[in-house]
Structure 1
């Protein structure tokens, strides 16, 4: 082991080892920066027979924790330390760091966890569904078959007593936290209700970056969209802006975990940065005070992500990131007085998430959630909804028990897609399942999977043939016999059923919404329907490497329940007009499309609004002048605002059909109606549309410039001794020559008469001798006429 620096957690290691030796279970509370993720597994190694299994809530944290543990031992992952995440595994002899869902799979396979001597739940305060399920399952497994298994729950911020009671009175050990103080700064007053989070967060980050001149700044934002918007706002700062969120490619995630260069760094992160990750050099934290949580919507039967106020525990966890390497500062985007209204802890995911997966796992396990060691019991209503869905899928019977079909899907040694294909199509699908499991080993013979199926007799396909034999023996009798390859493939990949796009190029739209393309000249390119079995994954429209032909008859017979019928009245940017159609759809695919001759007027008007959003509002000169006047009333008059609530415009759109109709629309009448009578009176009072000259001529006032302005011929203003005003401001007057050319621009007509007019008079008398140019314009009569010839 390398000479690792002392960690705050070291002080309680003897107490922790003693507790585990005596009772085999413990709860460890250690604030951020204590070093529990790195220090505890290594400290326990001498006491544990077998491997230590440590759970992390996220893949990035799993990989990073394994890397740090291995480095502390002076080696790379793959020696004493390994990790396992979805799709990737590096074995470790003594310590294995895994994501929380991996534990469930291991327990379902063998509840005795052979070779494992200790299980550690790290960052349990996040209370993910997988963590709660894993803890409930392992408590049962420990009681039933592994009483010697040591169990440790670690958390940074958690009410420890309920967990300790769940573990039959497990000892609670509390460690001191960070070694450096963190100053906390709040807003002087709460943000107003209409404040945009990204705008205010960018402002606070820029302020904190300017105030604190050392170290990395770590900002916590709710989601990827907020991170992108804030990053765009901070582009002018002399800093390296680094995003960090779960959907980022791993290489980009690693950038936030690397040592910063000479330029200061700002890391814009979601809650992924709250826990085990080590972000070097953080001295400043900016907390936007929001968290993204999964919420189950009973009306739709789906979970959706909502942004909510963070808990005090989450805020404390984030604050702690500023004090790991030196004294730090935490800026909180809320007033101190607001903290009393913040929840103490984040709600557990089990209380609000879609529980279908949990219900299936419990059905496979054979456990009753009411009798199991759940820290928070699954809500009865949500569990009932989940069981109903599983029953509809045939995974549960009427009594809520796992069905043979559901157990078969879990037990077949292939991907669940292929397991479902085997369950429906039977042994006939074994060759295809074996081929797809092998990732299409043959190249250069086109994309048609039928060619590979015919090649199964070749000697080089021996391993795949052996796998097919094994699957054929384990596959059930076909539920739908006689299916050809394309039909079977569509069972495995219902989201990759492809419909050819119009045109000569072999381009397809897949039922899941993605585009894809076959190579030019491929034999499958001539057909209208395929199933894309393997894609290269590159670009906006990936290349299809393996596919199967699909007939429309097989599509309809196997996927009739997925086909929807809809009537569509919408704006088509491609056609530049409103389209009204009746369609049959399978996901993103349009199977049939016929005209809808008479859609309701309100739908046509709404579609026209979408057209205006795409084309922009058609501003005639008169409408533009009216918009400029209305803007003086303090109301936003940009296109986006006007179209955000378009009810005022709908009566004028009932007959619009095409982009030409929309461009011909005169908005003046609609805007006037939007104002109403009182609004029109107020507008005419504050921003009159015209200026009346001394001759009684009405000149339109242009409100689009910085000051209200008019253009008028100079002789028409004779006799005016006081400068006209509009809306409390001087009118900007462009004085014109008799030929209509600008002579002078003024907001002080009396001053012009006194200062510049004599010189202008000399010039104008020479240029326009037939027009009157009096010495005293104040005393002269306004005129638009020239003198008669000969006078």
Structure 2
């Protein structure tokens, strides 16, 4: 029987009154209040329920089974009578069941099968603060059911540590009920772990110390199964007191092992429970009076860019730390060792991050599409799912043939009916269509669980073992690698469960053995990889990956990576299987495309014209492209010019001079085209592309007459003006045609011997008379003696000083006293 002194009893009448007038409520009750087991039973005989069921959602299988067992015990019944449960591959309900405790995926299936939930009068979301993806989805679906189909359906969201305002707002301003907890005083001791100390050995040291100082059992929180196994080994090396023993607790364990961790210790014995965050809430582990908290948890973080998960070990939030600490005070006074400092505690986040913000959203998008929502944003969310993750999920589901233009396909509906991720559901159906349902079921079951084997990355021997187990162990296998037999048994059981779900598709036929890699390719079309040598692969998604060590797999030209640790420049392949190119061509034609490509090869300095057979980012074959379109060839040459620069063209001296003259005119006159190198490169399509048709080689490109191309940029009037206002040469009084240097477009230069300008009174001007030429006046030996842009001033002011110097150095030359009246000459002296 339930104890009437539980704090939750103090608010039961208020809760009942609320539901007589309201359809939704939020209940925040501290740990130990009794909400999980008391509330459903208290509501069971309410008149508004009208004999219908109460469905209560628990985030974990162990918590669901435990809650159902405690409620059944309170009624003096067995589980499966008034109170039952449904979890993955384990159901205990009967004709008289009124309270069903279910895990989140089960609720989603119930809603998809009956959107009105006709058999239910109330839905309770327990421990909602964990904010799992399925809890958010389940709440969104139930809210729409309540809004459109069942306004009388009662909805209760319960939590121990929850920021209630966002949930109340989502529920239309639902009333908030609060209950204190029933926890005993817990002494909190901060024992910071030294940075250099291995976590497992430091934890083991604290456990042994606690056992020697306090009575009762110890609950240890560790980030994952790996640390749990290592900590167990460390504890055993230190030696345990008489009667003490270790129990492990994490999600991948069998239900039997989980139950052993939860059940009370035998009289006179003490247990040490090494657990992940599974024991944070909704679960009372009998006998616990001490907690050792590593302050860490492991959570998957999904990358929409790569389509892969990576596991990250992160610090717990303050709310989670308080939940863990509370485990020590459920049954009496307790002690909690936190392996961090008080200062570090102050820096922890207040609450954990909702899974919907960092998860793979493919299952959610498939479920919302099956529900009838073309866009997940049509539903009500506390935290809307991120746009990039939604887009990645939709693209994947399109590739898996589950969606078409945002709507679910018939294939997608069949995938959604299977108890598997959409990737594995698609693989199961494709395997069944090919006649390999048994092998596909074994492979899917294998990928849904923690790896039970202790050897490399190759999935094939694992699949052989599971498939042999499914057949009753009748086949002779070469592998003698160690195997977790209990986990293998659960995988085999799940294989049978999945195979049973495929019976409507396969009709009993099965052809037997297929390529493991081929089946994997249906689930992971974006993770088909081609070898780049030395165990490195390029995936069809464009991601680089590698095998962790020496593996026979590295000899495979192609493989499919089922599990990748997505970190670093190249992700690390954890599980994969080889696949043949021929298999992909035959069975995955939709993934393969032929593309003609005409492109500039920067390394070779040439244009390539190739036809490529591609599988995503992978080039499977490359063939010559015999007659590429001329416009594509021309565009490729344009790319080459942008890469290498205009020096790929043949620039004559006159072409460069023409370019500089046009640049000069553009700088002074806005109606002229820009012709500097950077301008020409930026506008290749305007002046070069029309003349690049038919170019197939670099030699063809070099045959182009650049001077003609530049003149093609000018109108007939501009060509005439160019010769007039920016001439190549200027005729000086001596009769010589002197070239103009336009290297500086702001100041063209005329370098001329001083004697050839006798008689010229003013500086020549260019650009419609706007720009005086800079005169570099030279000695008879072609050495500069003066620079000026004002020839008249030079004759008046500087000439006589220059004359003295030149007459001394060149006495035979003609140096008149009046340069404006003197005869110009290009000789030593003028002709008589």
The DSSP-based 3-state class of the residue aligned with 1:157 is coil
Residue 235 of structure 2 corresponds to residue 231 of structure 1: no
Corresponding residue to 1:252 among 239, 257, 260: 257
Deviation at 1:370, TM superposition (A): 2.4
Deviation at 1:154, TM superposition (A): 0.5
Q: 1:540 to 1:551 in 2, by over 3 A?
A: closer
Q: 1:207 to 1:370 in 2, by over 3 A?
A: same
Distance in 2 between residues matched to 1:298 and 1:337, nearest whole Å:
35
Is the 1:494–1:511 Cα contact (8 Å) retained in structure 2?
no
Specify the alignment match of 2:166 in structure 1. Answer: 162
Distance in 2 between residues matched to 1:98 and 1:176, nearest whole Å:
26
Deviation at 1:112, TM superposition (A): 0.7
Distance in 2 between residues matched to 1:309 and 1:101, nearest whole Å:
27
Is the 1:289–1:334 Cα contact (8 Å) retained in structure 2?
yes
Q: Write the mapping of 1:150-299 to structure 2, written as runs, cut at 5 A.
A: 150-187=154-191, 190-212=192-214, 214-235=215-236, 236-238=239-241, 239-261=244-266, 262-299=268-305
Is the 1:31–1:317 Cα contact (8 Å) retained in structure 2?
no
Q: Write the mapping of 1:658-737 to structure 2, written as runs, cut at 5 A.
A: none
Distance in 2 between residues matched to 1:539 and 1:43, nearest whole Å:
39
Is the 1:567–1:580 Cα contact (8 Å) retained in structure 2?
no
Q: 1:215 to 1:577 in 2, by over 3 A?
A: closer
Residue 50 of structure 2 corresponds to residue 45 of structure 1: no
Rg comparison, structure with higher value = 2
Q: 1:591 to 1:95 in 2, by over 3 A?
A: closer
Residue 511 of structure 2 corresponds to residue 548 of structure 1: yes
Distance in 2 between residues matched to 1:254 and 1:161, nearest whole Å:
36
Deviation at 1:291, TM superposition (A): 1.6
Q: Write the mapping of 1:356-755 to structure 2, written as runs, cut at 5 A.
A: 356-367=362-373, 368-398=375-405, 400-410=406-416, 485=435, 511=460, 513-516=462-465, 548-550=511-513, 564-566=529-531, 569=534, 581=555, 583-585=557-559, 588-590=576-578
Please, what TM-score do these two structures have when normalized by structure 2?
0.55
Corresponding residue to 1:339 among 323, 335, 345: 345
CA deviation string 1:570-627 (max 9, x = no partner)? 79xxxx999984544466545679xxxxxxxxxxxxxxxxxxxxxxxxxxxxxxxxxx
Q: Write the mapping of 1:29-108 to structure 2, written as runs, cut at 5 A.
A: 29-47=28-46, 48-49=49-50, 50-92=52-94, 93-108=97-112
Specify the alignment match of 1:469 in structure 2. Answer: none
Distance in 2 between residues matched to 1:527 and 1:87, nearest whole Å:
28
Is the 1:567–1:581 Cα contact (8 Å) retained in structure 2?
no
Is the 1:496–1:512 Cα contact (8 Å) retained in structure 2?
no
Specify the alignment match of 2:676 in structure 1. Answer: none
Distance in 2 between residues matched to 1:511 and 1:124, nearest whole Å:
40
The DSSP-based 3-state class of the residue aligned with 1:53 is strand
CA deviation string 1:725-768 (max 9, x = no partner)? xxxxxxxxxxxxxxxxxxxxxxxxxxxxxxxxxxxxxxxxxxxx
Distance in 2 between residues matched to 1:541 and 1:162, nearest whole Å:
40
Is the 1:181–1:327 Cα contact (8 Å) retained in structure 2?
yes
Q: 1:186 to 1:568 in 2, by over 3 A?
A: same
The DSSP-based 3-state class of the residue aligned with 1:46 is coil
Deviation at 1:15, TM superposition (A): 1.2
Q: 1:566 to 1:80 in 2, by over 3 A?
A: same
The DSSP-based 3-state class of the residue aligned with 2:182 is coil
Specify the alignment match of 2:147 in structure 1. Answer: 143
Distance in 2 between residues matched to 1:489 and 1:323, nearest whole Å:
49
The DSSP-based 3-state class of the residue aligned with 1:153 is strand
Deviation at 1:251, TM superposition (A): 1.1
Deviation at 1:401, TM superposition (A): 2.0
Deviation at 1:119, TM superposition (A): 0.6
Deviation at 1:129, TM superposition (A): 0.2
Deviation at 1:164, TM superposition (A): 0.9
Q: 1:322 to 1:538 in 2, by over 3 A?
A: closer
**Alignment length, in residue pairs?**
510
Is the 1:178–1:320 Cα contact (8 Å) retained in structure 2?
no
CA deviation string 1:24-48 (max 9, x = no partner)? 2111111111111111111111213
Is the 2:19–2:154 Cα contact (8 Å) retained in structure 1?
yes
The DSSP-based 3-state class of the residue aligned with 1:169 is coil
Distance in 2 between residues matched to 1:89 and 1:578, nearest whole Å:
43
Is the 2:32–2:330 Cα contact (8 Å) retained in structure 1?
yes
Distance in 1 between residues matched to 2:430 and 2:328, nearest whole Å:
55
Specify the alignment match of 1:318 in structure 2. Answer: 324
Distance in 1 between residues matched to 2:302 and 2:311, nearest whole Å:
9
Deviation at 1:553, TM superposition (A): 14
Show structure 2 runs of 5+ residues with no match. Answer: 447-457, 479-484, 497-508, 537-549, 562-575, 582-832
Deviation at 1:181, TM superposition (A): 1.4
CA deviation string 1:48-85 (max 9, x = no partner)? 32111000001111111111110010010111011001
Residue 309 of structure 2 corresponds to residue 303 of structure 1: yes
Q: 1:361 to 1:412 in 2, by over 3 A?
A: closer
Distance in 2 between residues matched to 1:101 and 1:555, nearest whole Å:
29
Specify the alignment match of 2:361 in structure 1. Answer: 355
Deviation at 1:209, TM superposition (A): 2.2
Is the 1:490–1:496 Cα contact (8 Å) retained in structure 2?
no
Distance in 2 between residues matched to 1:390 and 1:577, nearest whole Å:
32
Q: 1:394 to 1:255 in 2, by over 3 A?
A: same
Deviation at 1:392, TM superposition (A): 1.3
Is the 1:8–1:179 Cα contact (8 Å) retained in structure 2?
no
Specify the alignment match of 1:18 in structure 2. Answer: 17
Specify the alignment match of 2:774 in structure 1. Answer: none
Distance in 2 between residues matched to 1:136 and 1:512, nearest whole Å:
42
Deviation at 1:204, TM superposition (A): 2.2
CA deviation string 1:610-654 (max 9, x = no partner)? xxxxxxxxxxxxxxxxxxxxxxxxxxxxxxxxxxxxxxxxxxxxx
Distance in 1 between residues matched to 2:125 and 2:187, nearest whole Å:
30
The DSSP-based 3-state class of the residue aligned with 2:403 is coil
Q: 1:579 to 1:147 in 2, by over 3 A?
A: closer
Distance in 2 between residues matched to 1:579 and 1:558, nearest whole Å:
16
